[in-house]
Every structure is written in C-alpha cells, then in structure tokens.
Structure 1
C-alpha cells in the first residue's frame, strides 16, 4: 500500500522528486551519461585546443574563469592536456578530435534525451530517424555554445582593450561588457539545456513545462560544482588515498554528479506538471 502524500505542496514536491529518482533509475542513467561524458571530454579538448590555436585564445584565461566552480585537480588535468595537445599538433589527432567530438557528444545527448523522455513519461520516439536528427542538431548547437562561451570568457578583454585604444569605444561600455560577459555565458548555458529538453519531446511543450527545470538544473550544477570544488581543495585527499589516479577519481565523481543534476532538472519539470494536474483535479 502506497504511503499518503504530504499535504504541504513543498514537502509533496520533495517526496515526488525522491520517488522519481528511485522509480526512474536516475542513478543508473546518470552513470551511463557520465560514461559518455568521460569519452566526450578528451576529443572535445582536442577540438578546443585546435580552436585555441586558430583564435589565439588564452588557456590560462579559460582556467582562471573556471577556477571558481571546478576542483583544482580537474583544472590542472585539463590545463596539462590542452597545453600538450596545443604544443604537439598532429593532423591525425585533429581528425580524431573532429570525428569523435561529434560522435561521443551525440551519444551523450541521446542518453540524456532518453532520460528526459522518461521524466516526462514519454515512450520510445515515434520517429526514430527524426529523433536521431534532433540529437545531431543538438550536438552541433552544443559545440557552438561551447565555442561562444570560451570566446566570451577569454577573448573579451583582448578585444575590448584593442577596441578602446584603436576605435571610439567608450571605456564604460568596455567595463560594462567585461562585467556582463559571465551572465551572458550563463544565458548561453541556460538555452543550451533548454533546447535539449525541448528537442526531447515529440511535440511542442509549453514554456512553463521546460524553463523551471532548466533553471533548477543550471543553478544546482553551479552550486554543486562550487561546493565540490571547495571540498576537494580543502578537505578531501584523493591524491593521498588513490595516488596518481586521484585526479581521475575526482573527474569521475564530478561527471556523475553533473549527470544527476542534468537529469533531475527534467524530473523537476515532471514533478511540477504532476502538481499542476493535482491542483486542477
């Protein structure tokens, strides 16, 4: 016999979220998504390193921008890898990164879209070919969003300084843009996740069934990444416990927690839909 739901709407929502986590096997789905994200990371870093060489972006600037939300071990690992690939260019490595930067992100996007469909109580896609095209389209949009975010975080100061010195760009406009570029990058991330939730549907969903979970997921990811970064940098000692694979352990845990948050954003939308149906009934 099922236990009665709490009368308080807030407690009822928390109870439904926990039930959804258990019934929809979010832990298992998050592990699968973290697996694809892990294999996405290395080809994507090869792609980013090629982008860094093409646009003459600053690796140090990227790492400084991410220092507030990512653990130090992950930043050191990413910085070492980007520096190595950038200093050792290879056509074969570039082709490898170009191919798998589409293949593995597409697999990760498809895994996340399946989890989103489960959260919305949707069955298998009605048109599998169209669903695959949506996954490919979203993968391309995701890579573009990453490129735009990197450009906003690193190229901004250089271009602004050059524009102030050589063009009639007011100094206060440059300062305003310098302060607003991170909110703009956050907005890009918001719409990237929003479109993933939208493309996972068979039809058109109202905005109120999409944006709350997107905002919840983005805010929870930033808070969780910041807290985990503080924990790893000040309390955890993975390098002592696990030796040379300590960085890999930190990376895997972070990817798994990020996967849980991304999936639970869709579950949050599903919970709100259920609560609205109860109120209407």
Structure 2
C-alpha cells in the first residue's frame, strides 16, 4: 500500500514539477557540457595507454544512431593531434564548463524536494565540480568496463587457464559491476546535490530507478533510431544533433525521476514520523 502511494505521488510530482521542462533545460546544459567533458576524459587517455580503436568501439557501442560519428569525429581529431597544454589550464577550463550541466541538475533536484538554494555560490560550484568528476567516473566505468573487461580477460588468459564457465560468469559480472557502480555514484549525486539533508541510504531507491530506467530507455531509443527513425533523411546533418539532444533529454528525465522517487519516499517517511 505504501509503495502504491509513493508511486502515485511520483506520478503527481512529475506532472506538477514540470519534469519534461526541466529535462529539456538539462539537455541544453548537457549538450554544452558534453564536449568539454569528453575533452577532459580524453585528456587522460595518454596516461591510460588505451588504443584509439578501443575508444571508438566504446563510443559505437553506446551512442545512439549517427551520434557516435559526431562524437568520434571530435575524439579522433584530438587523439590524432593532442595538445599537451590541455593538461594544465585547458583541462581545468574544460572541467569548469562541464560542471554547468551538473549545476542545472542541482537546481532541478532542489525543485523535486521543493526547496530553495541557500548554499553559497562557491560551495555549490565546488560541489558541482566534485559531482561532475563523479559523473565522469561513472561514464568511464559504466561504458568502459563491459568492453575493456573483455580485453583484460583475454590478457589474463594468455598466462593462466580459465574454464569457459568461469569466463561466462565473469562476462556477466562485468555488466553487473558497471550497474552497481552507476547506482552508487547516483546515490552520491542524490545525497549531495539537493539542498536537503537525508540519510545516504535513502537515495538508493531513486538511484536504482534512474539506473534501470536510463539503461532501458537508452537501449530502446538506440534500437528505435537504428531501425525505425529517419532523422538523417528528414533533417540532413542536423539529424545527428537532434538524436543527441533527444537522448540527453531522456537522460535528464530519468535523472530527475530518480530524484522525484527519493523525494516522494522522503515526504512519506517524514509524514509517518508526525
């Protein structure tokens, strides 16, 4: 009965809080933050000694439709002509620009709890920078672990024999580990981002909902774009940008809904204590 009440409350809050409007704003900020964030990530690639084809394969596996070509073009251009200066001032500027999307997410999560921002600008900005680093971490681990884990496993098999049954189990665990890391990172995001104090564990439900929802909606949208949509035929080169914006919009919806779930449970617990 309690879960049904919370579910109905989430549906009501999604309509009243204008989640789609907030997600549209997030998509705009995410788009502005995307390439600075990519610039920050690929600046670290030389330290990891990862082959360029592995990076391209990772992008191809997850980016919907022709969006992968847009992202790959920027990544490949940098990897072919790296600039050492980016690792000093440039990398800080890229991280600062990327945090604008996290700032927008902080404002959106404040709205899900119905609270105003009373923290200082410096504190919020530092928090946004820290959460941006956390989101970069989740992106790298969640997207890279299932792919790079395969290469790591092959490398180990050159030295020791691993039974096929164990290999199959490890292949499953690679995906499970990526999902668990994503849930934990979102718990950190939902705990620190809103101007509302609550227990760290209380962010678990929303983090799980956002993780499962994002995985499902990303796979579903990628399948739709690959098999049914005709954005490129209709909009030409703009079709790629439109697909990217829709994907970021859907991502924003799931992140906000995760916050709405946490806020609904928070209000329910608060009312039960009265």
Alignment size in residue pairs: 273
Between the aligned partners of 2:9 and 2:84, the Cα distance in structure 1 is 51
Matches within 5 A, 1:33-44: 33-44=26-37
- 1:51 aligned to 2:51? no
Q: What does the per-residue CA deviation read over 1:155-207, in whole Å, with 9 as the maximum and x for residues that have no partner? A: 333333333324x5755666543432222122221112110111124564124
Following the alignment from structure 1 to structure 2, what is the Cα–Cα distance between the partners of residues 32 and 96?
A: 28
Contact between 2:33 and 2:98, CA under 8 Å: does it hold in 1?
yes
* 1:82-97 map, 5 Å: 82-91=75-84
CA distance change for structure 1 residues 241 and 97 in 2, over 3 Å: closer, same or farther? farther
Distance 2:46 2:202 in 1: 41
Deviation string 1:18-40 (CA, Å, 9 cap, x unpaired) is 43223323233222211121112
TM-score normalised over the length of structure 1: 0.82
Q: Does 1:196 align with 2:189?
A: yes
Question: Aligned equivalents of 1:158 and 1:234: distance in 2?
Answer: 29
| 2:189 pairs with 1:187 | no
Aligned partners of 2:115, 2:256: CA distance in 1, in Å?
15
| Residue of 225, 235, 260 corresponding to 1:232 | 225
Residue in 1 that maps onto 2:23: 30
Distance 1:97 1:260, change over 3 A: farther
2:205 aligned partner: 212
Deviation at 1:225, TM superposition (A): 0.9
CA contact (8 A) 1:43 1:96 kept: no
Of stretches 115-124 and 69-78 in structure 1, the one that deviates more from structure 2 is 69-78
Structure 2 CA distance, aligned partners of 1:240 and 1:159? 40
Over the aligned positions, Cα root-mean-square deviation in angstroms equals: 3.0
How many angstroms apart in 1 are the aligned matches of 2:105 and 2:15? 17
For residue 160 of structure 1, what is the aligned residue in structure 2? Answer: 153
2:66 is paired with a residue of what secondary structure?
helix
**Distance in 2, Cα, partners of 1:10 & 1:127:** 36
Cα 1:232–1:115, aligned 2, differ >3 Å: closer, same or farther? same
- Structure 2 gap segments, 5+ residues each: none
* Shift in alpha-carbon separation, 1:201–1:231, aligned structure 2, 3 A: closer
Contact 1:239/1:245, CA 8 A, preserved across alignment: yes
